[in-house]
Structure 1
Amino acid sequence: MNLSVAVDTISLAQSLRDGETLISASQSFEVGFFTPGNSNNRYLGIWYKFNPSTVVWVANRKNPITDKQGMLVMNDDGNLVLLSKDKRIIWSINSSRVLENPVGQLLDSWNLVFRDNINMNSDNYVWQSFDYPTDISLPGMKLGWNLRTGFERYLTPWMSADDPSPRDFSLRLDIHGLPQLVITTGSRKEVRSGPWNGRQFGGTPFSDKVVHNFIFKAMLVHKQDELYYIYEPFNNTVKTHIILDQSGTMHRRVWNWKTTEWSILYTWPFDSCDHYAQCGANNNCRINKTPICECLKGFIPKAEDEWDTHGLSQSRKCIEKSPSGCPSGEGFLKLPAIKLPDFNWYNNSMNINECKAECFKNCSCRAYANSDVSGGSGCLIWFGELIDIRECPPGFSWGQDIFLRVPASEPVWRINKAIWCNDSKHGCCGIMEGPWK
């Protein structure tokens, strides 16, 4: 018994053959077999009904079918399986749960789900494609972790336009410290967004552009068993998604109904300062200045012959000018509008004044900041080296304030507060605050 193209479900004893498709109820998405680029291989995938060339999910990305004899079936065990011509299992959802009346359904969200036909509750899905993304994240899809089981949802790009098998890049939610987005190669960080600040990921130069265009709203959801990033469009006319391309670059794309093509809203990494630790430890990356790497206040280059040159950047090895031992007169220098450093310690219950006091009493504390710019409490503290700092480039207004521990001898200061400037042309200033001893 074969399905017609008007159906969005597959049930027991039914099949979906190559050339047939399931279509979601609102005609938004379609599932079926396709051939990517110049390949001769066949894959089971999901694509936009209005734009079939944009495939948003692939089932058998590591195990292609070499002819047009593939078939998706609901077998006698109540599992969705993809079979080759010789009835070899190419792909399966591998469900161990036995359902009374199993059904596979393509939802309007593009989510292909496996559930009992008498229970529509999403909490009772036995399997869903949302849990196994490929290179695209769509609205409503979680990027993050099941904290109870350790299961993670993340993106991996296609190997090429002809081959959907995964490359070694990934876009994921890093939860070591305050959560942040990272692009990685294996275990190595390539790009880092900066921590979630209550509204957005704080070191992302695209934030203002997104907000002012009212494309989507982003959320970080932390439940007892889950921690994930998710987004939703502002209205139903907006079609948008995140895609991680073959080079490990993330793009936010929006469908243009007039030109009937995808427009890129932003690309990340945005510039060379977005690359992880571009300037090394205890450095500030400044994209429009020469050199773009500058040691933070209280730090000096170790030696010029030990700088590492990478293209436009000069990665300095910055060390403390005078090792801190809590000497008399130490205070905090406010650095405005920067991407906060990596590897933070945080406490959600402390306010900013308690955070400052906590940092000041610990001689190994290098800096502190507010973790929530939306008005809530929250304290971020850094110990040891400060990694992957960059300043907000001209034309943007993202970034957060951080308070850097410095000796009193560093800026010109007065009894309780001091203002320093080291660049009169660009007005690069900060505020020095006590307490003083």
Structure 2
Amino acid sequence: MKLGKNFITGRETFLTSWKSEDDPSPGEYTLRFLMVKGKYQQFYIRRSSAIETRIGPYNGISFSGRPLITPDAINPVYVSYIVVNQNEMYFTALSSNDTTTVSSRMVVTPSGKLEIFLKKFANQDWIKSITLPVDYCDKYRVCGLYGSCNAATTPYCGCLKGFERKTSDDTSVCRQSIALDCGPGEGFEKLSSMKFGGN
């Protein structure tokens, strides 16, 4: 199964939620793969046209900011791939061995969550492996420009080094605390365990 787009036919493959748990007509939420050549690949959970959650970007091994999606490095049950070529761009996950002993499925729930299930053929039960978003900080652009989110602190939102939170017109944003002049002693700040911002 592929999630992506065929550039020749224009056909896009994505997931849509049910309207409710017992109504399989199309719901409000979709899981779409960002398909722009030259940009980092990532997934968006949208409610109608508004982005609610971003998963990624994909760094070639796993989805940044969400290590839970990385298959077990020693004995993975599936391996994920992103394929980009002249004809198409898509995401797929395949069993890691030829004796397919595990199946997986992805579901977008009527409440806008992505759930991934695994089933080992030995017991035939679907077991929930991952649910996204996990916490408040998985919301899209929740802390605004130059902001950072930490689910382990209160409040969740803070500002990156060199910025401070200022409130005006009922909005709270991070603004530069000092002007940059690109002079001696200035450089880049290393940030670890951060999901890269942007589109």
Q: TM-score with structure 2 length normalisation?
A: 0.87
Query: How far apart are 1:323 and its partner, in Å?
Result: 3.7
Q: Is the 8 A contact 2:164 2:177 kept in 1?
A: yes
Q: 1:224 to 1:283 in 2, by over 3 A?
A: same
Q: Is the 8 A contact 2:116 2:128 kept in 1?
A: yes
- The answer for the alignment partner of 2:175 in structure 1 is 319
- The answer for the alignment partner of 1:14 in structure 2 is none
Q: Is the 8 A contact 2:101 2:120 kept in 1?
A: no
**1:200 pairs with one of 47, 62, 66:** 62
| Aligned mates of 2:88, 2:115 — CA distance in 1 | 26
| Aligned mates of 2:22, 2:56 — CA distance in 1 | 34
Q: Is the 8 A contact 2:102 2:121 kept in 1?
A: no
- The answer for the alignment partner of 2:18 in structure 1 is 158
Instruction: Give me the CA root mean square deviation.
Output: 2.1
- The answer for the alignment partner of 1:211 in structure 2 is 72
2:195 counterpart letter in structure 1:
K
| Aligned mates of 1:323, 1:337 — CA distance in 2 | 27
Query: How far apart are 1:204 and its partner, in Å?
Result: 1.6
Output aligned runs, 1:280-299, within 5 Å.
Answer: 280-299=144-163
Q: Is the 8 A contact 1:158 1:245 kept in 2?
A: yes
**1:186 pairs with one of 32, 48, 68:** 48
1:211 counterpart letter in structure 2:
D
Percent of paired sites with the same residue = 36
* Deviation per residue, 1:70-128 (Å, 9 max, x gap): xxxxxxxxxxxxxxxxxxxxxxxxxxxxxxxxxxxxxxxxxxxxxxxxxxxxxxxxxxx
**1:227 pairs with one of 89, 94, 97:** 89
Counterpart secondary structure, 1:338: coil
- The answer for the alignment partner of 1:168 in structure 2 is 28
| Aligned mates of 1:204, 1:159 — CA distance in 2 | 27
| Aligned mates of 1:217, 1:192 — CA distance in 2 | 21
Query: How far apart are 1:216 and its partner, in Å?
Result: 0.9
Counterpart secondary structure, 1:168: strand
**Unpaired runs of at least 5, structure 2:** none
Output aligned runs, 1:242-321, within 5 Å.
Answer: 242-257=106-121, 260-303=124-167, 306=170, 316-321=172-177
| Aligned mates of 1:282, 1:229 — CA distance in 2 | 30
Query: How far apart are 1:248 and its partner, in Å?
Result: 1.2
Q: TM-score with structure 1 length normalisation?
A: 0.42
- The answer for the alignment partner of 2:191 in structure 1 is 335
Q: Is the 8 A contact 1:242 1:252 kept in 2?
A: yes
Query: How far apart are 1:217 and its partner, in Å?
Result: 0.4
Q: Is the 8 A contact 2:105 2:117 kept in 1?
A: yes
Q: Is the 8 A contact 2:28 2:110 kept in 1?
A: no
Q: 1:323 to 1:148 in 2, by over 3 A?
A: farther
- The answer for the alignment partner of 1:375 in structure 2 is none
Query: How far apart are 1:303 and its partner, in Å?
Result: 2.9
Query: How far apart are 1:325 and its partner, in Å?
Result: 4.6
Q: How many residues are treated as equivalent by the alignment?
A: 194
1:299 counterpart letter in structure 2:
F
Q: Is the 8 A contact 2:69 2:130 kept in 1?
A: no
Q: Is the 8 A contact 1:284 1:294 kept in 2?
A: yes
Output aligned runs, 1:120-131, within 5 Å.
Answer: none
Query: How far apart are 1:246 and its partner, in Å?
Result: 1.0
| Aligned mates of 1:323, 1:146 — CA distance in 2 | 46
Counterpart secondary structure, 2:194: strand
Q: 1:185 to 1:214 in 2, by over 3 A?
A: same
| Aligned mates of 2:135, 2:105 — CA distance in 1 | 21
Q: 1:323 to 1:186 in 2, by over 3 A?
A: farther
Counterpart secondary structure, 1:254: strand
2:10 counterpart letter in structure 1:
G
- 1:144 equivalent in alignment to 2:4: yes
1:230 counterpart letter in structure 2:
T
1:297 counterpart letter in structure 2:
K
Q: Is the 8 A contact 1:217 1:232 kept in 2?
A: yes
